[in-house]
Amino acid sequence: MKKGVALLFFSLLVIGVKAQISGSNFNSKFIEANQLMEEKLWNRASNIWSQLILEDQFNGNVNYKLGYCLLETANRKLESLKYLELAVEAGISKNYDPFDPSEKKAPIDSKYYLSRALHLDYQMEKAIINYTQLLADIPSKHRLAPLAERQIEMCNQAIFQVTNPQNYTISNVGSTINSNYNDYSPVISLNEKTLFFTSRRVRMDSTNINITDDDTGENKEDIYVSYKDQDNEWQSPELLNINTDGHAASISVSPDAQTLYIYFDQGGNGDIYKSQLVGESWTTPEPMGSDINSPAWETHITVSSDEKTLFFISDRENGYGGRDIYQCVKLPTNEWSKALNVGPSVNTPYDEDAVFLSADGKTLYFSSTVIRVWEISISSSLP
């Protein structure tokens, strides 16, 4: 073999080996990111898809998966738009295989999620056009059809709300309460002097600095309390003594601020607990009685001022769809009754959440993904 031919053969061999190694690395990362998606670890999966984008910038499938993961995160949703646009531009695969690393095109789902990203970016008119095109491309009984129709309704409502703004003023509660970390889920006593809230901040003693969420890398949730002083100013928040190495979030408080209702994460299926103030310390949280907690996901609770009625949120089976509102009443034995779904006059096929009962016990407020603003009279609407 001549020297020049030998060098050419060797060079081609090296290139081929490098290509095999690169392809193998791509495939292993692809499989790992898919597994993280199965576990709903969206941020961690996004990081790997971002690496694969660098290797194949116009891969429609990788752009779709990255866009989808970002759309599922809590605080990176708007980043999804450019990747979902690239995914749709790459074309739709008629025989899409989500587990095939060689798949270069996106599924039909990419058009749906692109429309959602456009909606979140306040491009509602464009989102409606995309949803309408999607409906034209799929059979009427396709699983995405009712979802797209529902999203069109929501886009139209969003357009109406934006063009008819209400006269509300929203002001930041200030740096005494808020931190550089995520602070949320505030609940306040009836006299508005005690505020409980959930925070991802690092504790003053740094004992939680390495207690982080597997997906986001943030510190796990802790509950804090702040009191107003004589000048009606919030004092520096105090860490409650009931926090653990897991997630704990404030979801409701009794009118006298002596009983705190808490959401504890139980491996992805949250439950509702309560703790009581004894002296200056909070008792060890105990799960709510009866069948309030279940293998399903319970998120919020509100208890009447006389502590004889409560409402809570659950996505347990045999509801009206998604998360529903349930009711319990206090029995003569001082125990809670079995939970009763409040019925279709309130619950819908969509999600209801964040339930709150007024101090006089006559009005129930809650959020819903149905297109209405909810405020109902207890006496006329509930069983």
Q: Between β-strands 281-282 and 259-264, what pairing exists: parallel, antiparallel or unpaired?
A: unpaired
- Identify the pLDDT of residue 129: 98
Q: Which residue has the tokens 């006089």?
A: 360
Q: Tell me what the pLDDT averaged over the chain comes to.
A: 88
Provide the Cα torsion 221, 222, 228, 229; round to 10°. Answer: -140
Q: 325 pLDDT exceeds 90?
A: yes
What is the DSSP secondary structure assignment for residue 221, as one 8-state letter?
P
Is residue 62 within 8 A of residue 68, CB to CB? The reply is: no
Is residue 377 within 8 A of residue 363, CB to CB? The reply is: yes
Give yes or no: residues 181 and 151 share one domain: no
Q: Between β-strands 309-314 and 324-329, what pairing exists: parallel, antiparallel or unpaired?
A: antiparallel
- Identify the pLDDT of residue 247: 84
Per residue in 160-173, pLDDT (tens digit) is: 999 998 888 889 99
Give yes or no: residues 301 and 183 share one domain: no
Kindly state whether residue 383 falls inside one of the protein's structural domains.
Answer: yes
Range list of H helices, 73-175: 80-89, 109-120, 124-137, 144-163
Per residue in 71-95, pLDDT (tens digit) is: 999 889 999 999 999 999 999 999 9
Q: Between β-strands 286-287 and 340-341, what pairing exists: parallel, antiparallel or unpaired?
A: unpaired
Range list of H helices, 173-213: none
- Identify the pLDDT of residue 268: 65
Give yes or no: residues 40 and 133 share one domain: yes
Kindly state whether residue 167 falls inside one of the protein's structural domains.
Answer: no
Contacts with 278 (C-beta within 8 Å, 6 or more apart), sequence order = none
Give yes or no: residues 122 and 53 share one domain: yes
DSSP one-letter string for 238-299: EE-TT--SS-EEEEEE-TTS-EEEEEE-STTS-EEEEEEEETTEEPPPEE-STTSS-SS-EE
Q: 319 pLDDT exceeds 60?
A: yes
Give yes or no: residues 68 and 203 share one domain: no
Q: 373 pLDDT exceeds 70?
A: no
Nearest to 111 by CA among 96, 103, 101, 99: 96
Which pair of structure tokens corresponds to residue 180?
């550089």
What is the DSSP secondary structure assignment for residue 130, as one 8-state letter?
H
Amino acid letter, 133: Q
- Identify the pLDDT of residue 264: 86
* CA pair distance 252, 187, nearest whole angstrom: 6
Task: Please state, for a pLDDT cut of 90, what percent of the chain lies above it.
Answer: 71
Q: 58 pLDDT exceeds 80?
A: yes
Q: Which of 287, 313, 346 is the last residue of a domain?
A: 287
Task: Say which range, 71-85, 176-190, 294-308, 369-383, has the weakest mean pLDDT.
Answer: 369-383
Residues in the chain: 383
Contacts with 357 (C-beta within 8 Å, 6 or more apart), sequence order = 302, 303, 304, 309, 311, 363, 364, 365, 378
Kindly state whether residue 5 falls inside one of the protein's structural domains.
Answer: no
Q: Which of 287, 319, 344 is the last residue of a domain?
A: 287
- Identify the pLDDT of residue 266: 65
Helix/strand/coil percentages in the chain, nearest 5: 35, 25, 45
- Identify the pLDDT of residue 215: 76
* CA pair distance 69, 42, nearest whole angstrom: 5
- Identify the pLDDT of residue 370: 64
Cα end-to-end distance, the chain, whole Å = 92
Kindly state whether residue 129 falls inside one of the protein's structural domains.
Answer: yes
Kindly state whether residue 103 falls inside one of the protein's structural domains.
Answer: yes
Q: 332 pLDDT exceeds 80?
A: yes
Range of the domain at 378: 288-383
Give yes or no: residues 226 and 335 share one domain: no
Give yes or no: residues 223 and 264 share one domain: yes
Kindly state whether residue 169 falls inside one of the protein's structural domains.
Answer: no
Q: Which residues pair with 275 in a beta bridge?
A: 260
Kindly state whether residue 170 falls inside one of the protein's structural domains.
Answer: no
Kindly report the CATH number assigned to the domain that includes residue 236: 2.120.10.30
Per residue in 260-298, pLDDT (tens digit) is: 999 987 666 789 999 999 998 999 999 998 999 999 999
- Identify the pLDDT of residue 255: 84
What's the pLDDT band for 121 if we cut at 50, 70, 90? very high
* CA pair distance 91, 89, nearest whole angstrom: 5
Q: Could you give the count of Cα atoms lying within 13 Å of 40 in the half-sphere of its Cβ?
A: 5
- Identify the pLDDT of residue 230: 92
* CA pair distance 255, 331, nearest whole angstrom: 21
Which pair of structure tokens corresponds to residue 323?
């998360």
Give yes or no: residues 156 and 17 share one domain: yes
Give yes or no: residues 17 and 109 share one domain: yes
Say how many domains are in the chain.
Answer: 3
